[in-house]
Copies of this chain bind each other. A is one copy, B any other.
């Protein structure tokens, strides 16, 4: 079976691989939020962070349930990505609370964006689930509000955080690069996702221009994804008034 764009949709095994990564990212988010909740400056923040951590567990479990629905083993699916961000975490140990907040917002944002892009080619139910799970931005909102308040008028902090953001995105993009190189299943998801997006774009263009749709799979989809991830990063930094 091929899609209208001529690209094979991801197999069930590829889908499970991507879902396993999403589940592992939520598991990692839980661990990070739980650790943050121990050292947050105020009790209100601590309470809020434990609630975000609990929500990450629920999101992870929704993804694991979908993996089971697809007939695969959830424990194996999440387990294969055990420690996926370990090296990233070692290389980007925050030294202040602000660096920690920015890392939550910017560093992990790249991994989330990657999954969102790769999810575009999945079956409708899995795609919807991934987008819903990764769309819960309540914690980002908190990080943005706090960073915004802290950065306002503090030029030293602002320029330090801009530097930190560049370091974070560089390390995060290496993680994505490594994942794509080591996991053909994820690479196929990205390819299918890009084809899906291109087909949607072409359909929209033909609807307005009445020309025949001519979309095909962009041959360099996995390479192109880095452009999109960087653009998303720039947008995120801009929201904080930081130079990407």
A residues engaging B (CB < 8 A)? 27, 30-31, 34-35, 37-38, 43-44, 46-47, 50-51, 53-54, 57-58, 60-61, 64, 75, 78-79, 82
Contacts and interface: CB of A to CB of B under 8 A. Distances in A.
Contacts of A53: 30, 34, 53-54, 57
B27 A31 contact: no
A65 to B, nearest CB: 12
B50 A27 contact: yes
Nearest to A23: B47
Contacts of A37: 30-31
Contacts of A30: 34, 37, 50, 53
Q: Is the interface of A mostly helix, strand, loop or mixed?
A: helix
A64 B43 CA distance: 13
Nearest to A30: B50
A57 B61 contact: no
A50 B23 CA distance: 13
Contact of A51 (B34, B35, B50, B61): B61
Contacts of A82: 43
A165 to B, nearest CB: 27
Given A50-B57, A53-B57, A78 B34 contact: no
A50 B38 CA distance: 16
A131 B50 CA distance: 23
Contacts of A51: 57, 61
A75 B47 contact: yes
26 contacts: A27-B46, A27-B47, A30-B34, A30-B50, A30-B53, A31-B34, A31-B37, A31-B38, A34-B34, A34-B35, A34-B53, A43-B75, A43-B78, A43-B79, A43-B82, A44-B75, A47-B64, A47-B75, A50-B57, A50-B60, A51-B57, A53-B53, A53-B54, A53-B57, A54-B57, A54-B58
